[in-house]
């Protein structure tokens, strides 16, 4: 039974590593293309840069999901991914709440805006945690 768990852990680490390598490759290619676009003014590269930007965001999402699904909280890359996901979720929630507040009566709007501000304070704390957890990794 321990061999099965060791194999599963090994497979998970390989998958996470592969997704990290894909992300890093896309980031390097994107940086190169963006530099060429700005320095050499090759406007024909703009659609390719935009497509690669989307692919890089997708690769980031896949990498983060892999870490959160199969990674270990004992690994240093886990916590920036976890807090990053919390921040993204909280930002989406804040945006939705702010949009919804417009339709509320003034007293409820005030209460909701106070709650949104508190959520944003918590989110800022999570962002600080992301930064501090990256320091040992860097």
**C-alpha to C-alpha distances, 88 to 17, 46, 56, 91, 92, nearest whole angstrom:** 23, 27, 17, 5, 6
Residue 6: its pLDDT value, please? 62
17 CB-near residues (< 8 Å, 6+ apart): none
Residue 126: its pLDDT value, please? 87
Q: Report pLDDT digits (tens) over 48-91.
A: 999 999 999 999 999 999 999 999 999 888 988 998 999 999 99
The Cα 44–Cα 28 span in angstroms is 19
Q: What is the domain partition of the chain in residue ranges? A: 1-71, 74-138
The Cα 77–Cα 95 span in angstroms is 27
The Cα 76–Cα 24 span in angstroms is 17
Radius of gyration of the chain (CA): 20
Residue 88: its pLDDT value, please? 93
* CB distance 106 to 63 below 8 Å: no
Q: Report pLDDT digits (tens) over 9-56.
A: 688 899 999 999 999 999 999 999 999 999 988 888 899 999 999 999
Indicate the pLDDT class of residue 5, thresholds 50, 70 and 90.
low
Q: Report pLDDT digits (tens) over 106-138.
A: 889 999 999 999 999 999 988 888 888 666 554
């Amino acid at each position: 039974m321990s061999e099965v768990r060791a194999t599963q852990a090994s497979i998970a680490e390989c998958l996470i590593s592969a997704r990290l390598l894909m992300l890093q490759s896309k980031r390097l290619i994107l940086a190169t293309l963006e530099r060429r676009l700005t320095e050499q003014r090759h406007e024909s590269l703009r659609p390719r840069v935009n497509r690669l930007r989307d692919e890089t965001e997708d690769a980031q999402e896949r990498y983060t999901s892999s870490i959160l699904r199969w990674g270990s909280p004992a690994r240093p890359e886990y916590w920036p991914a976890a807090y990053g996901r919390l921040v993204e979720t909280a930002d989406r929630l804040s945006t939705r709440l702010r949009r919804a507040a417009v339709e509320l009566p003034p007293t409820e709007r005030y209460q909701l805006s106070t709650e949104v501000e508190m959520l944003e304070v918590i989110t800022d704390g999570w962002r600080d945690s992301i930064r501090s957890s990256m320091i040992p990794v860097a």
